[in-house]
Chain A
Amino acid sequence: MRRPAVLLALALAAPLAACASADEGPPTLMWYINPDSGGQARIASECSEESGGAYRLEVTLLPRDAPSQREQLVRRLAAGDTSIDLMSIDPPFVPEFANADFLAEVPDDVADAVTQDVAEGAVAAATFDDELVVVPFWANTQLLWYRKSVAEAAGLDMTQPVTWDQVIQAAADQDVTVAVQGTRAESLTVWVNALVESAGGHVLENPEEEDPRAVVPSLDSDAGRTAAQIIADLTAAGVGGPQLSNATEDINASMFESDDAGFMVNWPFVWQRGKAGVEGGSLDQATLDDYGWAMYPQAVEGEQARPPIGGVTLGVSAFGEHQDLAFEAAQCIVQPEKQAAYYISDGNPPGSLAAFDDPEVQEEFPMADLIRESLQHAAPRPQTPFYNEVSSSIQRTWHPPRSVSPDSGPGRADTLVMDVLQGRALL
């Protein structure tokens, strides 16, 4: 009996010995990332090396879409999961994380360092209650993509700002489509918010209010009605395409590659997708050559458009055991040269303005300067801890787009937002 007992003891001790050896060396920081083409993993490896042995940064994947990423992170953080050190967070969910005390406080020196030479929109998206609560990383914005041949035939001067009315009219005249994200998902809120902000309004009056019962929605305003009128005009003109109410960014990018494409509002991934299509033989070079890009359309003629902003910010978990090191790692990740390389490898535009000056970026992305300009004008979605409720209410009341009218959409949205936040309605 003695021999098996010794063997058993050895068998039990072996993994413990392995654990002990794994604990030696620099602490491992776990970075929960959104799926990409491997760029964040590469940055993690580079920063581990550059830390000189201070830490080892490892990545682990979150689900594909932003709401699912939020759900997984919140569940873990609400349980006080200490395995998370760094998180790639979609900007609209930042206030909710900050309000729930899920984020470690950003030290002043770090805040100063990571906002130097960063696009205004990206800083705004990383701020809650006048404080930087996460580190701005890459930033995304939507452009107005158009077919040069269509714009030319319609007589549109795309070197000057254009309005939604002009785009819709041009598409109707030329019998082509205006691809917009009409599906009942976050992308619909992105569109509505951009329209409202471009019309000079806001979705919420007081987004930073921490008491849900005190939040005041403000879609039922001139700006909200202007936004609804644009959507109503677009559907009335029949230029949204047959799949408008299910159109996602991917579907629209695909639609824009077809022959009856005219205009589209979408993120810059469209360009790389087009180039990959040409390389793969699924898209003609002539079609890609016909791609044009311009600033997001104006809702009101002469008023600067406020394009959507997306991207990723870096949050340091309040429950991580190495918060100082995590902030150190975050500062390493957002270095302009790393963001430039990330842009080139993964197609995600930098939040750092300096990164746009990289010659390789300029060569690879001819619209880089426009993206930089767009990021400066971009308006974030409402920076509220109750963003999910607000966004879902908009999706419920502004979908399908053909049902939206200035008389009903904004008012219904405001009522639902208030009812939901005051605990009077389901969602």
Chain B
Amino acid sequence: MSAATTAVPAAAEAARGTRRRAPLSDRRRQEARLGLLLASPAIVVLLAVVGYPILQAVWDSLFNYKLTNPDARSFVGLGNYGLILSDPIWWQALGVTVLITVVTVVVELVLGFALALVMNNALGALRPGLRTAILIPYAIITVVSAFAFRFMFDLTSGFVNAWLPFVGDDTDWFASFGTAVTVISISEIWKTTPFISLLLLSGLAQVPGELQEAAKVDGATWWQRMRRVTIPNMKAAIMVALLFRTLDAFRIFDNIFIMTNGAAGTESVSFLAYRQTIQRLEIGIGSAVSVLLTIAVALIALMFVKGFKVNLAASTRAGR
């Protein structure tokens, strides 16, 4: 972690410490007021663009409200949540979402780590070109890559069936759940592995060289150094990479929308929210699905932070 980012928690800690010991001086108080004043536009904007829509969604989720029949809007309390949680469609969508999330994140972590190692160990002259090449898929808009994969695997326009010897020429990849979800996952992995590898590369750069050297001198093998030195020192970077990608994968929508439009049992939770809100215009139920999605995402974030037992603020202070 850079010095610039470590400065903030350290300063906050120092400020807290000072407060305990002695009252703030006039200058300090003025500085604090100025800081608050400077930060307030950002806080207001954040509340407007993040807080307000979330609160509005929570409020809407308590109503039976269809956009084409606003007069019939009625308060149903938690009825929408009861309907959603008792419907097998929700659980199926949740299952599909979890499956895609787990599969893609695990594969991406392994592949991303390998690519990060390649980028980290590449010769200086090769490094910029290699990084650019590896990052290209991430630069492509998800909808565009989804179309590319759809056309690649399509029975009429695709070439995959002709290329794969173990696949019949008349295999329709998007006709059944197993194959459809495989293509969706492959496209997701192709698109976002560079992102995870970039984050892991920054983690690799943080591993102190002297520790590696010391381990080498002590006779540790490559695998031992990896397990005992590299990975433990990258814990924060791995957590951030996994957390970001898991949250991102859990919200998967574009690929499914383009490739199957939810057919063959491939609907994700985001797709379900889209179907209720945009297609059915059921603002109440759609908002409730979105709120449940937000809660699930928050739980995942909490799980990662607690599960990894990484205190980013503490580790940065230690790093200083």
Contacts and interface: CB of A to CB of B under 8 A. Distances in A.
Interface of A: 67, 71, 74-75, 78, 96-97, 99-100, 102, 183-185, 242-246, 251, 254-255, 385, 388-389, 392, 399-400, 423-427
Contacts of B89: 425-427
A99 B67 CA distance: 12
Contact of B64 (A183, A254, A385, A423): A423
State the main secondary structure of chain B at its contact with A: loop
B175 interface: yes
Nearest to A79: B67
Contacts of A399: 263
Contacts of B155: 242-243, 246
Interface in B108-143: none
B166 to A, nearest CB: 17
Interface string B57-74: 000000010011110000
A251 B151 CA distance: 12
A96 B262 CA distance: 24
A115 B84 CA distance: 45
B105 interface: no
Interface stretch (B94-102, B217-225, B247-255, B276-284): B276-284
Given A245-B264, A389-B280, 20 more contacts: A71-B278, A185-B261, A242-B170, A242-B171, A242-B172, A245-B172, A245-B175, A245-B263, A246-B155, A246-B172, A251-B156, A392-B279, A399-B263, A400-B263, A424-B83, A425-B87, A426-B285, A427-B89, A427-B275, A427-B280
23 contacts: A71-B281, A74-B281, A78-B67, A78-B70, A78-B281, A96-B68, A100-B69, A183-B263, A184-B263, A242-B155, A242-B171, A242-B172, A243-B156, A243-B175, A244-B175, A245-B175, A245-B264, A246-B155, A389-B280, A399-B263, A400-B175, A423-B64, A426-B276
B304 interface: no
Given A78-B70, A426-B89, A388 B280 contact: yes
Contacts of B264: 245, 400
A293 to B, nearest CB: 23
A67 B279 contact: yes
A388 B175 CA distance: 23
Contacts of B87: 425-426
Contacts of A389: 280
Contacts, number: 76
B189 interface: no
B172 A243 contact: yes
Nearest to A251: B156
Contacts of B149: none
Contact of B90 (A183, A388, A426): A426
A3 B77 CA distance: 61
Nearest to A385: B68
Given A251-B156, A423-B83, A426-B285, A184 B261 contact: yes
A395 B48 CA distance: 39
Contacts of B175: 243-246, 400
A335 B155 CA distance: 43
A53 to B, nearest CB: 37
Contacts of B90: 426
A234 to B, nearest CB: 16
Contacts of A392: 275, 279-280
Interface in B152-208: 155-156, 170-172, 174-175
Contacts of B174: 245-246
Nearest to B170: A242
Given A243-B172, A246-B175, A399-B263, A78 B68 contact: yes
A426 B272 CA distance: 9
A74 B278 CA distance: 10
B284 to A, nearest CB: 10
A145 B239 CA distance: 59
Chain B CB within 10 Å — which of A96, A242, A254, A400 has the most? A242
Contacts of B263: 183-184, 245-246, 399-400
A102 B70 CA distance: 12
A115 B90 CA distance: 46
B276 A427 contact: yes
Interface in B243-270: 261-264
A144 to B, nearest CB: 22
B68 A99 contact: yes
A282 to B, nearest CB: 13
Contacts of B285: 426
Nearest to B281: A74
A277 to B, nearest CB: 15
B306 to A, nearest CB: 32
Contacts of A102: 68
Chain A CB within 10 Å — which of B68, B172, B272 has the most? B68
Contacts of B64: 423
A413 to B, nearest CB: 15
Contacts of A242: 155, 170-172
A148 B305 CA distance: 68
A1 B241 CA distance: 54
A340 B236 CA distance: 69
Chain A CB within 10 Å — which of B83, B87, B172, B278 has the most? B172
Contacts of B69: 99-100
A341 B170 CA distance: 42
B261 A74 contact: no
Contacts of A97: 68
Chain B CB within 10 Å — which of A102, A423, A426 has the most? A426
